[in-house]
Amino acid sequence: MAGLVNFEDEQEVKQFLDNLGAEYSYQCYREKDPEGCQRLADYLEGVKKNYESTAQVLKHNCEVNGHGESCYKLGAYHVTGKGGVTECLKTAFSCFMKACNSKGKKSVDGCHNVALLAHDGRAMEGGVDAKIAQQYYEKACEGGFAPSCFNLSTLLIQGSPGVDKNMPLALKYALRACELGHVWGCANASRMYKLGDGTNKDDQKAEELKNRARELHGEMKERQLKFGDLLDHRVRHGVTVAASPRAQELSTDREAVLFSRGFGVNTAERVQRKTQQSRHHVHLTNTWGPYRRADEYDDGE
């Protein structure tokens, strides 16, 4: 049947992929289709591993077409200087802001990264801008992005110039983070009920949330073990498989993905330098006061 590709034939697969690249290039530059440009960027990055060309397409699609996903990805490249672009957090901030305002696929992630950079301060002219961080954490949290809900909660626990401490509101966002499956949101909400911070003391509620944190943490460790077993199997048996677009994103921009998930700029840079240790040593740095990370809950506690 016409159109079917024999994926066991290396030459046929190569021809298919080359044709695919040509099609995406035509969509992008001749038909001026922003989605075609994004497909071309994904192709150049995931299939060709040509990060310099990927960066050029992302820049075109972001600046000319205002495509949110391309702006987000371009911002991720600027965080680490990938693809020959300038390593510049201010430029990354601008790209993430465009992604946030685009209302596209990466809008929520873009809003979260805007908040992280404002919270970190190095992308801002006047240093840390907690008010901007709060504003964009709120936007991302409203979009169901759990790390933003958690970071917003911890910001309100500590307070910062421009953002007053507000324990009841901090509890609200910790609970929302917990609802969205964020282990440390559950842990901090549990602690707040235990201490009576921002609410009346409620030992039963504290215990329920603590158990939920344990449960989520256990699930997280189980996923890590399964992923480790899969990698070990692939290494021992020489197995290679084509990664999904999401897996490609995780592997090709690991430090940027960590950044977008709430691990912060410092951690992103550490991961870039020492990725082999990141799985076991990456921690959030913005859990304050008496509140603990969920990885401090062991199975016997």
Note whether residue 251 is domain-resident: yes
Statement to judge: residues 194 and 234 lie in one domain: yes
CATH number, domain with residue 63: 1.25.40.10
Statement to judge: residues 269 and 124 lie in one domain: yes
pLDDT higher than 90, residue 170: yes
- Geometric angle at alpha carbon 56, from 64 and 117, rounded to 5°: 80
Residue 286, CA distances (Å) to 152, 181, 187, 217, 292 in order = 10, 18, 14, 18, 10
Residue range 220-278, pLDDT digits in tens: 888 877 656 655 544 444 443 333 333 333 333 433 444 444 444 444 444 444 433 33
Band (21; pLDDT cuts 50, 70, 90): confident
Statement to judge: residues 150 and 222 lie in one domain: yes
What is the value of pTM for the model shown?
0.75
Contact 120, 262 (CB under 8 A): no
Statement to judge: residues 183 and 301 lie in one domain: yes
Note whether residue 207 is domain-resident: yes
Cβ-proximal residues to 180 (8 Å cutoff; 6+ apart), any chain: 144, 145, 146, 149
**pLDDT at site 212:** 96
Band (143; pLDDT cuts 50, 70, 90): very high
Band (187; pLDDT cuts 50, 70, 90): very high
Statement to judge: residues 91 and 130 lie in one domain: no
Statement to judge: residues 298 and 152 lie in one domain: yes
How far, in Å, CA of 259 to CA of 247, rounded?
Answer: 16
Which of 105, 134, 166 is where one domain is finished?
105
Statement to judge: residues 153 and 255 lie in one domain: yes
Residue 18: domain span: 11-105
Note whether residue 135 is domain-resident: yes
**pLDDT at site 231:** 52
How far, in Å, CA of 75 to CA of 89, rounded?
Answer: 8
Burial 201-238 (b: 16+ CB within 10 A, else e): eeeebbeebbebbbebbeeeeeeeeeeeeeeeeeeeee
Q: Percent of the chain beyond pLDDT 70?
A: 70
Statement to judge: residues 158 and 243 lie in one domain: yes
Statement to judge: residues 245 and 193 lie in one domain: yes
**pLDDT at site 288:** 36
Mean pLDDT over all residues of the chain? 80
Residue range 58-96, pLDDT digits in tens: 999 999 999 999 999 999 999 999 999 999 999 999 999
Statement to judge: residues 170 and 227 lie in one domain: yes
Q: Which helix (H) or strand (E) holds 177?
A: helix 167-179
Note whether residue 3 is domain-resident: no
Domain tally, the chain = 2
Strand stretches in the chain, DSSP E: none
Band (19; pLDDT cuts 50, 70, 90): confident
Angle between helices 146-158 and 130-142 (to 10 degrees): 140
Note whether residue 148 is domain-resident: yes
Cβ-proximal residues to 26 (8 Å cutoff; 6+ apart), any chain: 36
Statement to judge: residues 98 and 153 lie in one domain: no
Statement to judge: residues 178 and 263 lie in one domain: yes
Band (125; pLDDT cuts 50, 70, 90): very high
Q: What would you measure as the largest C-alpha separation in the chain, in angstroms?
A: 69
